[in-house]
Structure 1
């Protein structure tokens, strides 16, 4: 029999395949049942650019050159994540998601909030009031909860019982502005020039400072103190490996990862943290 029942909530489209599929794979490997939910109980689809890498390089719109990848190889999901995604597509639970309005905290032992960034699909997920209400109630239950990348932004927007963010008074990390801007600059200046803001879910309005609508900035505004947003310290071992964006963790190497635990809540920044992130969540589940 499965040990615990875990829920992964998804946008209908454009979720990050690494953050979802690796987490699913490790949770299932630990003996847990994993269920899914989307806005309308339709089967979700991962971000195709992150799956294939096709469409990220500047020549991708030229006939015959779409499959030639350089930037696409750097940014797309790694082979292990792509393989896990293929297996997840055949999973019966993935093929029969629940709808956000159906969700009841009592039905689940843990909740995982993944990310993504392409605004086509992610905004509906991040802005769903029914989902925000459910996430806030799940935090109030003190059951184990995990959030990574833009999933932390969903958590920050979810209301606690006092009306403040469910993350108010907690320590967290999320996609940092340095990492978000680095990938944004790569894609808009050296890659997908016809869609330069692919890597930004929200853009600053005129008069707002650079990064004001970044994940880090919005999450930080929801916290009791900006100091509760934890990035890799300057003196951390393996700091360059953790912050360069060139290294990702693996089942046997957690050195590139940066994961923050605060009670029954665990958070991480990006797909490069996902193996360590999922393992810490499994530890919280007991």
Structure 2
């Protein structure tokens, strides 16, 4: 059984629904968690493309991901999540931390309750996957044994500064700081919590997105029980690798 925590609003539909669909289609049970136990909703702009102008095709979720999100949002488990406070790491085999850059993500990224639960998953050596802003939640999670980030000794990737700032500059004139969840970029915040910035892996970035049949544009980083990816364009490869890690411990 895998846990996927979400904010009340603003998560990326691709980074949540693609892993959900890949895993559930292979018999893995998924439980969702939200701040208050009420159903979450993805960032609407990533589904409709509203406000993206000529960059709509590139910036919004693709049709396959949107269809997966529609199926996920109709699922009973998605409609009836538990609250962050109800999470017990010992009940699960693993954890997936999706991303998203809408300001609504702050109810997830800044939750000390959720961070304490994530720390338990790391302490119990569960399989943990983080993609995009999900790595921010991971880097902010403190190991109570040494007061350092749980990622301090791990290799990781995250949303790249180049990706974040490119999307910001493309849309800043009409979307303001929509693409800047925080003044510090995801990459810089993640690096700041690592023992060495050399642990951060960038990969070769492609504007193309991966698919179920084509992993070539994607990049993920695996270190022991932890898997990370950069953006929605890595979501299928991320899902496959997470499943393979899960099968190793079964």
Match of 1:126 in 2: 109
Instruction: Using the TM superposition, give the Cα deviation of residue 54 of structure 1 relative to its aligned residue in structure 2, in angstroms.
Output: 1.4
Structure 1: segments with no counterpart, 5+ residues: 58-69, 204-212, 233-238
Richer in helix (by share): 2
Q: Is 1:196 paired with 2:157?
A: no
Instruction: Using the TM superposition, give the Cα deviation of residue 30 of structure 1 relative to its aligned residue in structure 2, in angstroms.
Output: 1.6
Measure, in 2, the Cα distance between the counterparts of 1:254 and 1:199. Answer: 26
Instruction: Using the TM superposition, give the Cα deviation of residue 55 of structure 1 relative to its aligned residue in structure 2, in angstroms.
Output: 2.0
Give the TM-score of the pair, scaled to structure 1: 0.85
Could you give the per-residue CA deviations for residues 177-217 of structure 1, whole angstroms, max 9, x where no partner exists? Answer: 0111111111114xxx1x311011002xxxxxxxxx10000
Q: How does 1:3-42 map to 2 (within 5 A)?
A: 5-42=1-38
Instruction: Using the TM superposition, give the Cα deviation of residue 100 of structure 1 relative to its aligned residue in structure 2, in angstroms.
Output: 0.3
Match of 1:103 in 2: 87
Q: How does 1:108-187 map to 2 (within 5 A)?
A: 108-119=92-103, 121-160=104-143, 161-187=145-171
Measure, in 2, the Cα distance between the counterparts of 1:139 and 1:174. Answer: 18
Specify the SS of the correspondent of 2:148: coil
Measure, in 2, the Cα distance between the counterparts of 1:86 and 1:97. Answer: 16
Could you give the per-residue CA deviations for residues 85-128 of structure 1, whole angstroms, max 9, x where no partner exists? Answer: 11111101001000001111111111000000011x11111000
Measure, in 1, the Cα distance between the counterparts of 2:79 and 2:49. Answer: 24
RMSD: 0.9
Measure, in 2, the Cα distance between the counterparts of 1:128 and 1:117. Answer: 16
Could you give the per-residue CA deviations for residues 106-155 of structure 1, whole angstroms, max 9, x where no partner exists? Answer: 11111000000011x11111000000011111111111000000000000
Measure, in 2, the Cα distance between the counterparts of 1:11 and 1:90. Answer: 17
Specify the SS of the correspondent of 1:23: helix
